Amino acid sequence: MKLTCQPHVLSQALQIVSRAISTRTTLPILNNILLETTSEGLSLTATNLEIGIRKVIPAEVADEGSTTAPARLLTDFVATLPEAPLEMELDTSNQTLSVRCGRFDTHIKCIEADEFPPGPRPDEGDRLAIPLESLLGAIEQTQIAASTDEARPVLTGELLQIAGPRLILVATDGHRLAERRLTAVTSEELEASLIVPARALGELPRAFRGESGDVEVLVSKARNQIFFRAGTSEVTSRLIDGNYPNYAQVIPSKSSTSVRLATGDLMQTVKAVSLFARDSANVIRIRAQQGSVMLSATTNEVGDSRAELGAEVDGSEIQIAFNARYVLDALSVMEAEQVEFKFDGPLSPGLIKPPGSDDYLYVIMPVRVAM
């Protein structure tokens, strides 16, 4: 193997690919990145057997070949290199990779490429294409609600429901839920319900930075793996096995109060007031009455704060309390200038959405407090 590439391009790719390396692995080879020459240049692959990330960067290949190099070392080293052509050459007799760049002449001990486990990379399955921007947007808007609680593995994933071209992406941690609808290019018949690890979806924005067009998605026939490709970047992931909760039944279908506010003002106000919501439930109280919304928070040892905002309020007056973080998470991914809240009493779930659209919904369970 012998090739020449640009250190800063290689460095960026290494940093992205390395994110698939787990810090505590039982298989030493998984600490390495697979380097392979391809017709397009140099391919870099890392995996922890659950998630795999692959990127191809432009390179002038003189001799074809492959090996695996220690990820941490290679990534840290390449990041320090000067902007000069970087030449890589593998001595196959002892699996030593020479890296020459500017004033550096370095030799890195590698492990044979055939030791590297084949990643979860389905060759055949059901295909669909999703516009990159809309997929990344949907991930950003839903992943905030996914759980990190490993005791309930299903909730650490996002539900991807495919019904022909209509896709629904859902995440919930049991306290709040986010649902985003989007459109894909796929065959009419394809129907599937998949649980994709939120951590894998979270890698897509990073891995696909700089790419454009559509994301090609491939779902294995056995429905146990999913594969995303945009341009020369790929992310593969194992799917989570299990039954996703019947989430549709918790989305409120009626409301007794509906409130419309300016998203930016509300977010700034919640941020400020919630500094006084320090207890573990992080409670912010909302009181909606004709023409205005009052936000308040109190922590005994800290103090209290309240703020009043002008708002369009329809329906009955209400007092309700939420974990401020859950509200802020929703507001931070709300693209519309205005935001609509729908309430149906202080102990029923609240709904947050952009007005006039049902493409995005965010449901929060309230905190029960003594009002």
Scored b (16 or more CB within 10 A) or e, 157-183 reads: bbbbbbeebebbbbbbbebbbbbbbbe
Neighbours of 80 (CB within 10 A): 10
* 248 near other proteins, rule: CB under 8 A: no
Largest CA distance in the chain: 80
For 200, the token pair is 């894998």
147 binds other proteins (CB under 8 A): yes
Q: How far is CA 231 from CA 75, 217, 235, 252, 315, in A?
A: 22, 12, 11, 40, 50
Residue span binding other proteins (CB under 8 A) among the ranges 136-144, 151-159, 190-198, 327-335: 151-159
Choose the binding region for other proteins from 42-50, 53-61, 115-123, 274-282 (rule: CB under 8 A): 274-282
Residue 241 found at the interface with other proteins (CB under 8 A): no
Q: How far is the CB of 315 from other proteins (least distance, A)?
A: 21
Choosing from 109, 152, 209, 221, the residue that interacts with other proteins (CB under 8 A) is 152
336 is an interface residue for other proteins by CB under 8 A: no
The single residue among 19, 55, 176, 353 that binds other proteins, judged by CB under 8 A, is: 176
367 contributes a contact to other proteins by CB under 8 A: yes
Contacting range for other proteins; rule: CB under 8 A; set: 124-132, 163-171, 173-181, 185-193 = 173-181
- Answer yes or no whether residue 108 interacts with other proteins by CB under 8 A: no
* 322 contacts 348 by C-beta, under 8 angstroms: no
Residue 7 interacting with other proteins (CB under 8 A) = no
- Of 34-42, 110-118, 242-250, 255-263, the segment contacting other proteins by CB under 8 A is 242-250
Beta strands across the sheet bearing 225-230: 66-70, 32-38, 41-47, 51-57, 233-238, 225-230, 214-220, 125-131
Residue closest to 192 by CA, chosen among 214, 156, 224, 216: 224
Please report whether residue 177 would count as binding other proteins according to CB under 8 A: yes
User: Based on CB atoms, which residue is closest to other proteins, 172 or 233?
Assistant: 172
DSSP H or E run through 353? strand 350-353
- Quote the DSSP letter at residue 175: S
Of these, 250, 272, 275, 302, which contacts other proteins (CB under 8 A)? 250
Q: Which of 243, 280, 290, 300 touches other proteins by CB under 8 A?
A: 280
* 295/369 Cα distance (integer angstroms): 15
Using rule CB under 8 A, residue 344 touches other proteins? no
Which one of residues 85, 117, 174, 264 is an interface residue with other proteins (CB under 8 A)?
174
Binding region for other proteins (CB under 8 A) out of 63-71, 303-311, 327-335, 362-370: 362-370
Strand order in the sheet with 60-63: 60-63, 2-5, 86-91, 96-101, 104-109
**Cα–Cα distances in angstroms (integers) from residue 229 to residues 24, 146, 154, in the given order:** 27, 23, 24
Does position 150 interact with other proteins (CB under 8 A)? The reply is yes
Residue 345 as a binder of other proteins (CB under 8 A): the answer is no
Q: Tell whether residue 270 is a contact of other proteins (CB under 8 A).
A: no
Instruction: Report the interface residues with other proteins, using CB under 8 A.
Output: 26, 147-153, 172-177, 245, 247, 250, 279-281, 283, 321, 323, 347, 349, 363, 365-370
